Amino acid sequence: MTSRIDLDAADTPDTFQPRQHRPSRAAQARPADWNALDDDLAADQRWSTWPGIEKSMRGPLPYPEFVIEDAGAVDTELGVLKTGKEADVFLIERATAGRRSILAAKRYRPPDQRAFHRSTIYTEGRTIRRTRDARALKNGSTYGRQVEATQWAAAEWSYLVQAHDAGIPVPYPVQIDGTEILMEFIEDPDRAGSAAPRLHQMRPDQTLLDSYYTQLIEAMRGFAALGYAHGDLSPYNILAAGPRLVVIDLPQLVDLAVNPLGADLLARDCRNVCTWFAARGIDQDPEELLGELLAAAWP
């Protein structure tokens, strides 16, 4: 996969248009060995990875309408949505004859390619079951770094599935394949093909602001009811898809019952949220919100 349209969804939301959909290879038969490299595919294409993904590594049933299951589908990389600290988010088109859908692919990088490491405060209390993996992680081998990237991806996958099942507004998790998560692309309803802007860029009117606030508190209550704090909640990890808020970036979710710093991390989430809304005239005491969420975690 070569073509890189480097853009930051937050800074240049209106400049991005996905490439024109070229006549799809999908109408042709897929090679019998679905892993085979196919000369007909362009450098930024691959056969859909869906057929090779175990059922348990696919999103919850029922699959939304945009999930294409066709084994003859082709994935085309349309560009980089955002390069991040430990993961890059790509825009992927999955297309078959007559159907196409756009997905977001979040790919975790091995830690040696990261700008900095997500602190271990988040993983406190999580156990690594396979001793070989635990040893590799400890001694920092190449294999160990790969294991770490895979584990962050697996963690985010699991939290996306749990949150989705609990009705919390997160992108629908389509599939996980090692270090790559494919998920619903949260689109800006006013600009087809563009990612929804992050909350921090929004200047909502009073009615929309009130609705955003209600939605966000409801989402935080949802996480708390599952026993979690988001752990990195801020207007940068919330997308505003028109009237709808969607919470993203879940790998560091914190188990409130297990992590000794859980309440502190939840308090920080509350402060981040309250500060943004307070600057726009909605006053909510972060301590009060924290109390309410802790009560929701232990009803």
Positions touching Mg ion (CB under 5 A) are 237, 249
Backbone angles phi, psi at 136, to 5 degrees: -65, -40
Cα separation, 235 vs 256, in Å, equals 22
Closest approach of ligand ADP to the CB of residue 184, in Å: 6
Task: Give CA separation, 35 vs 46, 100, 196, in Å.
Answer: 9, 21, 33
Closest approach of ligand ADP to the CB of residue 183, in Å: 5
Task: Give CA separation, 129 vs 63, 133, 151, 236, in Å.
Answer: 30, 8, 11, 33
Closest approach of Mg ion to the CB of residue 236, in Å: 6
Residue 290's binding partner out of ligand ADP, Mg ion, none, with CB under 5 to 8 Å set by partner kind: none
Q: Is 167 left (phi over 0), alpha (psi -120 to 50) or beta?
A: left
Q: Is 13 left (phi over 0), alpha (psi -120 to 50) or beta?
A: alpha
Which residue, 170 or 270, is less far from ligand ADP as judged by CB? 170
Residue 195 lies near ligand ADP (rule: CB under 6 A): yes
Which residue, 28 or 113, is less far from ligand ADP as judged by CB? 113
Which residue, 25 or 198, is less far from Mg ion as judged by CB? 198
Residue 198 lies near ligand ADP (rule: CB under 6 A): yes
Cα separation, 22 vs 35, in Å, equals 22
Closest approach of ligand ADP to the CB of residue 106, in Å: 6
Q: Which stretch binds ligand ADP (CB under 6 A): 42-50, 93-101, 129-137, 178-186?
A: 178-186
